[in-house]
Amino acid sequence: MTKYQISINPFAEYLEASESRRKQILNEQLNPDPVRIPYYQLAKSRIKTSIVNSGNYTAIKEGIRELTAKKPVKKWQISDRVNSIKALENYQDMLLSKLITENKLEVIKPKQKHLNFNGVTILISPNIIFRITIAGVKHIGACKIHVSKGKPFSNKQSKVVATLLNQYLSNCVVSEDEEVNPELCFCLDPFAGTTINSYSRILVDMNVVKQICEEITQTWVGNQNQTNVA
């Protein structure tokens, strides 16, 4: 890995963030909160289970019932309960690819979960990596789930995530008897109501990713210099 590291969702947020927010994003990557509140964990888990089961809603309905029965005490727990229920409800109105809903998914668990570009390590860590077989051909795909009521992704941000998923599978996961299917590399965002894959026509490609990486290294070095001066 390189000395500059950033997770995929903050990387996507960085794409359209203001200059001040960009610096804040990088500072958060350098100094992660040791007691970070685990928002949306149950919602993400149930969405993941649903996708693995070809879009079946059983896990979603069970998640809504479990959240409804909870009696949270802390303010953040109350907010998380309300917003997690909304995320699960929104998910039920979203469309998954027929390649997922009409085929059985086999989950893949590779060891490497990152990519390196222009001196930056992007931690991909997909929520799901899977394989489906159609007419004897093995297709692999991956999904990254983004759940944030306050900061849903734009189409462009989701496309960056999908593009990185495709590149990650192509570089680190795919075997000789498999092919990466761009329709199966997607970012799912319940609050944006989108499932955007790397095949979509939104104008984002690896050149954009490399450009962002160059900007990140420059900003990172600048932040470190300011810290050393202080």
Q: What's the pLDDT band for 222 if we cut at 50, 70, 90?
A: low
Q: What is the mean pLDDT of the chain?
A: 90
Instruction: Report, as an integer, the average pLDDT of 109-117.
Output: 88
Q: What is the pLDDT of residues 64-81, one digit of tens each?
A: 999 999 998 999 999 999
Provide the pLDDT for residue 229: 36
Q: What's the pLDDT band for 35 if we cut at 50, 70, 90?
A: low
Q: Torsion angle of alpha carbons 108, 198, 206, 16, nearest 10°?
A: -110
Provide the pLDDT for residue 210: 87
Q: What's the pLDDT band for 228 if we cut at 50, 70, 90?
A: very low
